[in-house]
Amino acid sequence: MAEGLQRPRSRLGCFVVLTAALVAAVFTPGFGFAQARTAAGRETPHAERSNANTVAIISGNPNETYLSIAYDLSVVLNDGSDFRVLPIVGTGGAQNLRDIRDLKGVDLGMTQSVILNAFRNNKKLGDIDRSITYIAKLYNEELHLVVRADSGITAIQQLDGKKVNFSDVGSGTQLSARDIFERLGVKPIEVNTDQADALKQLEAGEIAATVLIAGKPAGLVTNMTAAAGFRLLPVPFAKELHADYLPAKLTSQDYPDLVAPDRPVDTVATGAVLIAYNWPRNTDHYRRIAAFVDHFFPRLADFQKPPRHPKWRETNLAAVMPGWKRFPAAEEWLQRYDPGAPQTVDQREQFNRFLKAHPQVTEAMTSADRDRLYQEFLQWNEARQKSR
């Protein structure tokens, strides 16, 4: 595989600016469509420095965890004009993949592991395993299937033939929901709308359910209550899902006003992945992403403390995405620090001891198996800390 590829010219006629942060981007980062300039039309030293040291990351909409994660990155890694992370509101996992490949102003993005594998298999975006690399697997995203409590729907199979919102077109929720329902043999009538509008339609009885795939606790779902008539429908971890998904639970600790303390809701999850284009080493884009790695990887511990999103506690920088190439600067950083920074060594050593003691560990384990064990380890370690 060639070490880097030339990114194809954007085929998007325009890019909708969705946040004030993105508006600010036209004056600071390396977007290229506007920069701060002197009256003579030349870039000022400050603008040049800001462009060289700003990384833009495409995330998700306010209902998803991606935006919270991107915001955390912008806050923790902010070093003024010396280094900045600029969050951009995006549509979600599937469109983010296209934006990383096509848009000149996007350096990093977040998507789902199952979406990466789906596009690699269907070739709709060409050989993306040559053009897309990953920085790190971040955490797991849980499927939230919301119905009205008085609907009489108690199983996902009852949604067959009924209208179900799969979120915005191009979102990670849309593609993964399609995949999960198809594997389970359930054929709903797909509706695509914003989650806020979907809740109104759900209340009015216009749709039977709405699906959101996001890391718990998801902001939208935290605002739902059982008293308001909402309920989370369980999703079984059927054998058809084992190859690409993980079992998960939604608990009262995640959603105290929606889930009863003694009645956790079974669901499934997929991995959230931080990705980048496979830039050649001698490009400015490669240098900026390498600088991001050097700022982000050593500070993982800062992300795993309050008030940062609790999903950061699942991040294992050394986790591998089978069949995918890690961005060279990230791979080299991990090898250089064997394979992690000082703040993650204790956790990694504990996990290694956990693996050795676990009877299911074999060399033939899949990535999904290891991810499942890592989640068990996190639960075990949390219980261990509480018992002290």
pLDDT per residue as tens digits for the range 64-109: 899 999 999 999 999 988 999 999 999 888 899 999 999 988 999 9
* Residue 167 or residue 361, greater confidence: 167
b/e code 7-32 from CB counts within 10 Å (16+ = b): beebeeeebeeebebbeebeebbbbe
* Residue 161 or residue 61, greater confidence: 161
Nearest to 130, CA basis, from 231, 26, 278, 311: 278
Count of alpha carbons within 13 Å of 253, Cβ hemisphere only?
A: 2
Q: So what's the pLDDT on residue 347? A: 54
Reported as a pLDDT band with limits 50, 70 and 90, residue 62 is confident
Q: Sign (positive/negative) of CA torsion 259, 217, 361, 366?
A: positive
Q: What is the pLDDT of residues 299-308, one digit of tens each?
A: 999 999 999 9
Reported as a pLDDT band with limits 50, 70 and 90, residue 52 is confident
* Residue 345 or residue 219, greater confidence: 219
- By percentage, how much of the chain surpasses pLDDT 70? 75
d(CA 65, CA 218): 6
**Arithmetic mean of pLDDT, 138-166:** 97
Q: Which of 24-38, 164-178, 298-312, 336-350 shows the lowest per-residue confidence on average (mean pLDDT)?
A: 24-38
Burial of 305 (0-12, 13-18, 19+ CB in 10 A): exposed
Q: So what's the pLDDT on residue 382? A: 54
Most confident option among 17-31, 83-97, 338-352, 354-368: 83-97
pLDDT of 30 strictly over 70: no
pLDDT of 125 strictly over 50: yes
Residue 131, number of CB atoms within 10 A of its CB: 18
In this prediction the pTM is: 0.76
Q: So what's the pLDDT on residue 372? A: 64
**Arithmetic mean of pLDDT, 353-357:** 62
Q: So what's the pLDDT on residue 331? A: 95
Mean residue pLDDT across the chain: 83
d(CA 217, CA 184): 25
Q: What is the CA radius of gyration of the chain?
A: 21
Backbone φ and ψ of 313, nearest 5°? -70, -15
For strands 84-88 and 54-58, give the pairing.
parallel
Reported as a pLDDT band with limits 50, 70 and 90, residue 253 is very high
pLDDT of 161 strictly over 60: yes
Q: What is the pLDDT of residues 102-118, one digit of tens each?
A: 998 899 999 999 999 99
DSSP 8-state secondary structure symbol assigned to residue 266: E
Q: What is the pLDDT of residues 367-377, one digit of tens each?
A: 556 666 666 66
pLDDT of 270 strictly over 80: yes
pLDDT of 3 strictly over 80: no
56 contacts 105 by C-beta, under 8 angstroms: yes
d(CA 113, CA 12): 24
pLDDT of 22 strictly over 50: no
Q: So what's the pLDDT on residue 109? A: 96
* Residue 244 or residue 25, greater confidence: 244
Reported as a pLDDT band with limits 50, 70 and 90, residue 25 is very low
